[in-house]
Structure 1
């Protein structure tokens, strides 16, 4: 096995060797510090101070050299700019060609500088990670928290490479002018096509160094996938052989139908409960019983997806088919028990863990962003489609011995939908062949050269693994930093139970899970009680409630587009997180009923602010959660996706229970009694966010 220290030496520019992080020295110092057995708190604090001073010095050395090189390249670009203006006057081909070559030479120097930054950024991350694994206490959280927001932070310079973007712009614009390109790069800022291979390589290197901010990548943040840099995966060419578009669409279809199934009953659940002799506020139990069952189904579907995707989806469809039939029959059987049992069955059929896992494991890297964005879009459209369909069910007539009405039609329509889906699934879904992949997957931390040689000996394909991750110098950054020759198996093993997973949660992770609980709680309170609240205050019909909820659901995609394409380019994730929490609390406060007459405009305004802010909050929250979560929680059954799903589902259960309990106080108090704990949880999450803000990096 090749350690990171050796990889770093092999990838270094020899002329710049003194300015790279001295990884070997840092690792040796760390070993000396950690040889102290049974260190007291005072000794641990002293070790932290000494080690962080060493790391500070290393980072300062890197940053000062980086700034020196940036100044040198900026001066060259300025001189070339003057030469370019002279060349443009006569456009002599020889002079133009020489000027282009000069710009490309600067581009090569800039690319080397980006490689320098990338290697050092990886070295900093690896040495902190190694310290955390070997010590009985963590250093990373303290180090990042104390340095990330400081006005003179040098750590920010490494990870944000300030100034390089301006030089990339100057190169792109100048080469475009010299090549007589008709459009300026400013005409198409989001998708400017660069023909020059140097610019293409620079942009690829920049992409690896920065957080993604495009719309598709922001949408993908809503989906908790495994951390790809921590896991050995099948080569993308092997995944490509297994990729099946029809199977992906059927997988997304399951997501869409499940969200329709979840929200199609919301506009009519209170009236259904009343028709069976129960209080309208029992709609909280009817809606929440599905979430209770999902707490259980999330675990076994997550475990099942380790072995299969097809059979879990088949089982999900059958259980949902049965659940919706029971829900629809409850009216003619005049049984509240059957009604709730039907919703429990629907919750037991929640296969969202399988939907996420399939995209993560069996969609090629180049298509994974689109697929994950499709997952979020399917969920959003399902959320809007469910209530919209319910608005067309205002009928009541017998058919083949059963009653078709606004209460029962959601169940019958979804039962037919799941039956059709089950047939399509049986015909069109292709189960990936896992055994073939196991043979092709390189062993953990194998180097590219050794694995290709081994595959060559076995007579297998010899093309490089994950070729798209290589730059023009042949450096494979997917393999960079996989130094675990001294990592114990225990430090890499996935959690084996929810209890063990909980023990791995750090304070920042717990805060993010609290925020996820808060936003799901707020959204569930808003949606589940909407039919009761609007009927009491505004006398809205089922159709009016359905239209209102559908319009709320339709805000998801445009709002995410706005945040993903613009807002996330201007602000950090943690800034957007905090602002979204504030807006969520503000929306809740607007919804409160006061001494003045309560109006539909006030309710709709407050609901819209709360829903939109919570939706934005979800994407940013899951993005930050994936960054601060332990690598051990990026794999196995009890992974970060399951933990966030359980937190959100538990929030829905508590919210629906709150609605039912508050209903005993009467409809006049329902709104304020349910909003009060929502606001309290929101304020607590704001305080917790402030406490952990500096560690959200």
Structure 2
């Protein structure tokens, strides 16, 4: 991975060099401030004022140049329109292909301008993060709070693509009118033209969406998967070598995700009755469900590390563990042993390959397909979550075969054992190990293909010509190289984190707050799901079928909710606004779930459960989407990546939640509901407070 300062130099448009953010100069100033503060000669307020003044000047330079270039593009479009109108009035025939190419040329120049703005936006975010990290000030919070919502905000000019819409619209409309099948539609405003769009228009829309964080269902679901993309864009990503990609291997990877989620939730409706049949308390279901999560905390690390060398072997190993674990889970009934039951679930947890599933998509799927594959990962998880309880609802038979008992408690184990056996055979036959040079974690390479990497190397060997001022800045930066040893933009610091501790040190306060939010929502969801059979059985006398049907319906809300959020809500409001609102709704759902005085009713339980679950789903998608953007680029790849950290946070939440259910069961089922909801409420309130404190850093 190339440092941002070098990347900025390599990708600069030569004639625009003087209008880019002066990243090296700003970095030098941060180093100077840091030295002054350490020596006791720096004043907090003067530093903030001085750096704010410099940033304002940099932003103004960028924005005025951006507006100037937009004007030039608009002038060219106006000239093309006049040319077309004149030809129409005079009855002359235009060369359609020539006009189309002229519009495409404007589109290509617009793409260059969008890339210019995007690189500057990334540079601004990075220098703000660097300032906070180096000096320990909440400068980002101050700067965004005072600049973002001002009526003359330069920040909004950059991050909200002010003025670009009209240019994009003119290019799109005219290129559509010049299509060979002109006349099929009245205009782009009357009918969708997705299948008629010119490639340059598609590229422009993608660039605008990337700059403004606009989403649709597909890329929202992709971000939901927490499969982090490299945060430094490239003007062209079409030169990726994808010959080694195998579709069947990707399908098997996604099938592993689906089966594991089915395996996780298929036992939830019957875990309490299974525990009772083995002589344990019903609330031991918390330990039965949670033991899988405990083991998953360890498997996520060692299987992720294993995937540095191979993908097929850890998938085969995990499938064998899951096969054995489910057999043990089913045999526990005839062996009359709660220990065997727990050991079986531990084996299932040790077989969790979700970290491998993420790594495979991140490292081995071509960039042009990665967003679809990421969305497939989330969809497979959601469908597995819904199918698990639904399948449990179907297993109502009771019979013996070869002295083995098959009933609603053991059939989930036998069914999953058979499913993993079939999957294991398919995996051994059809999965192709990706070529290691393409998928290994090589710190100095990005996954943009050999030609792009070679171009970068050539750029380093033959850098752009520097002015004398730039050379002086380089000399000044060399003076502060002691500080740059731990700098996020040094080559060393762009290597993937090598341990959990190293990864934790890369977390900013806003990222820590978002991981707390992720912990909270997973905790609340696990409490709701894991104790559902006990609560509904105690208060409403629901059977296993009713519980399974209710959980399946909850699971089925995942995809519609993400469609709503991805296509509409996240484009109408800022992600941080949706984040805070969703947390508040989760809190309301938790409060409504408490039993206080009045009899506990089915409508109260169902409404509060739906409110909590759906808002937690909205929160999860938005939180992970935001997290994937603000987390350090060092956590984009490697064993200890952002996906692993979020998985560990979520898994830890499930472990704590299931442990809470088991401990609360010591006071009896009558007090279980309130005792488990109280920690959820405290954690939720804590996450809301943390969000408020770091709100302006989530920009």
The two structures share one fold, judged by TM-score above 0.5: yes
**Aligned counterparts of 2:596 and 2:336: Cα–Cα separation in 1:** 38
**Aligned counterparts of 1:136 and 1:574: Cα–Cα separation in 2:** 23
**Aligned counterparts of 2:644 and 2:512: Cα–Cα separation in 1:** 14
SS in 1 for 2:345: helix
Residue 193 of structure 1, aligned match among 174, 193, 196: 196
Q: Displacement, 1:665?
A: 2.3
What is residue 519 of structure 2 aligned with on the other side? Answer: 517
1:12 is the counterpart of 2:19: no
**Aligned counterparts of 1:258 and 1:315: Cα–Cα separation in 2:** 14
What is residue 461 of structure 2 aligned with on the other side? Answer: none
TM-score by length of 2: 0.85
What is residue 650 of structure 1 aligned with on the other side? Answer: 652
Residue 553 of structure 1, aligned match among 531, 552, 555: 555
1:155 is the counterpart of 2:155: yes
TM-score by length of 1: 0.86
Deviates most, 310-319 or 676-685: 676-685
Deviates most, 547-556 or 633-642: 633-642
Question: Is the Cα contact below 8 Å between 2:325 and 2:348 reproduced in 1?
Answer: yes
Question: Residues 133 and 509 from structure 1, CA distance in 2 versus in 1: closer, same or farther, beyond 3 angstroms?
Answer: closer
Q: Displacement, 1:25?
A: 4.7
What is residue 53 of structure 1 aligned with on the other side? Answer: 53
Question: Is the Cα contact below 8 Å between 2:246 and 2:432 reproduced in 1?
Answer: yes
1:612-646 C-alpha deviation (Å, 9 max, x unpaired) = 11112111111222222223333332222121111
SS in 2 for 1:398: strand
**Aligned counterparts of 2:52 and 2:144: Cα–Cα separation in 1:** 11
What is residue 464 of structure 1 aligned with on the other side? Answer: none
Question: Residues 347 and 505 from structure 1, CA distance in 2 versus in 1: closer, same or farther, beyond 3 angstroms?
Answer: same
What is residue 168 of structure 1 aligned with on the other side? Answer: 168
Q: Displacement, 1:132?
A: 6.8
Residue 359 of structure 1, aligned match among 346, 358, 361: 361
Equivalent runs, 1:175-574 vs 2, <5 Å: 175-177=175-177, 180-183=182-185, 184-189=187-192, 191=194, 193-195=196-198, 199-200=201-202, 202-229=204-231, 240-435=242-437, 451=454, 488=490, 490-574=492-576
1:124 is the counterpart of 2:124: yes
**Aligned counterparts of 1:130 and 1:400: Cα–Cα separation in 2:** 67
Question: Residues 72 and 310 from structure 1, CA distance in 2 versus in 1: closer, same or farther, beyond 3 angstroms?
Answer: closer
1:245-266 C-alpha deviation (Å, 9 max, x unpaired) = 1111111111111111100101
SS in 2 for 1:38: helix
Question: Is the Cα contact below 8 Å between 1:148 and 1:694 reproduced in 2?
Answer: no
Residue 607 of structure 1, aligned match among 589, 592, 609: 609
Question: Residues 398 and 94 from structure 1, CA distance in 2 versus in 1: closer, same or farther, beyond 3 angstroms?
Answer: closer
Question: Residues 146 and 345 from structure 1, CA distance in 2 versus in 1: closer, same or farther, beyond 3 angstroms?
Answer: farther
1:286-332 C-alpha deviation (Å, 9 max, x unpaired) = 11111111111111112111111111111111111111111111111
Q: Displacement, 1:181?
A: 4.3
SS in 2 for 1:586: helix
Question: Is the Cα contact below 8 Å between 2:397 and 2:407 reproduced in 1?
Answer: yes
**Aligned counterparts of 1:269 and 1:662: Cα–Cα separation in 2:** 16
**Structure 1 stretches lacking a partner, 5+ long:** 456-483
Deviates most, 407-416 or 146-155: 146-155
**Aligned counterparts of 1:175 and 1:239: Cα–Cα separation in 2:** 30
Cα RMSD between the aligned structures?
A: 3.6
Deviates most, 183-192 or 307-316: 183-192
What is residue 662 of structure 1 aligned with on the other side? Answer: 664
Question: Is the Cα contact below 8 Å between 1:2 and 1:447 reproduced in 2?
Answer: no
1:411-446 C-alpha deviation (Å, 9 max, x unpaired) = 111111111111111111111221476799975799
**Aligned counterparts of 2:37 and 2:592: Cα–Cα separation in 1:** 57
Question: Residues 331 and 41 from structure 1, CA distance in 2 versus in 1: closer, same or farther, beyond 3 angstroms?
Answer: farther
Question: Residues 361 and 110 from structure 1, CA distance in 2 versus in 1: closer, same or farther, beyond 3 angstroms?
Answer: closer
Question: Is the Cα contact below 8 Å between 1:492 and 1:631 reproduced in 2?
Answer: yes
**Aligned counterparts of 2:403 and 2:549: Cα–Cα separation in 1:** 30
**Aligned counterparts of 2:453 and 2:200: Cα–Cα separation in 1:** 29
Question: Residues 170 and 316 from structure 1, CA distance in 2 versus in 1: closer, same or farther, beyond 3 angstroms?
Answer: same
Equivalent runs, 1:585-664 vs 2, <5 Å: 585-664=587-666
Q: Displacement, 1:676?
A: 2.1
